Amino acid sequence: MILRRACFVPGSLFQVSSGRGRKALTRLYSSESPEFSGKFSILDEKVSFQRYQTVYERLIRYPNGKRVSFDVFGNPRSDFKSVFVFPYDTRTKTVTLLREYIPGINEVMWGFTAGGF
């Protein structure tokens, strides 16, 4: 596991990319964008798969009217509780990212510490 520090901008999501021996952060969205201001509505939800964990197909309407389908994964017996750690250093205004192997997509990715119970 490799740690990476990145600049933090509140309400924004960044992607870490690399090429030619360099790493770069790209802003994917900002919570101040029009499509993220307002209420999100669940239009439909159905079980796609259920065993130890459950996968729901959830249709969401964004505040701007756009409809997007998501796969929501979790355990309904634990009320989909999970942990997401956002390691932000207020002195240096940096965030620590982890680089680790993700078996589901069979790739090494940058991300935050997270887990479910």
- State the Cα–Cα distance between residues 5 and 10, nearest whole angstrom: 15
**97 conformational bin, left if phi > 0, alpha if psi -120 to 50, beta if neither:** beta
- State the Cα–Cα distance between residues 94 and 88, nearest whole angstrom: 6
| pTM recorded for the entire structure | 0.44
The confidence band for 43, taking pLDDT boundaries of 50, 70 and 90, is: very high
Can you say how many angstroms the Cα of residue 6 is from the centroid of all Cα atoms in its chain?
Answer: 16
| The predicted structure's pLDDT at residue 63 | 82
| The predicted structure's pLDDT at residue 7 | 47
Q: Average of pLDDT values for 59-70? A: 84
**40-56: b (≥16 Cβ within 10 Å) or e:** eeeeeeeeeeeeeebeb
Number of structural domains, the chain?
1
44 vs 19, higher pLDDT: 44
- State the Cα–Cα distance between residues 61 and 44, nearest whole angstrom: 10
- 85-111 pLDDT, tens digit per residue, is 778 888 888 888 888 777 777 788 888
Whether 31 contacts 25, CB under 8 Å: no
| The predicted structure's pLDDT at residue 9 | 47
Residue type, 23: K
| The predicted structure's pLDDT at residue 117 | 45
Range of the domain at 108: 2-116
Residue type, 100: E
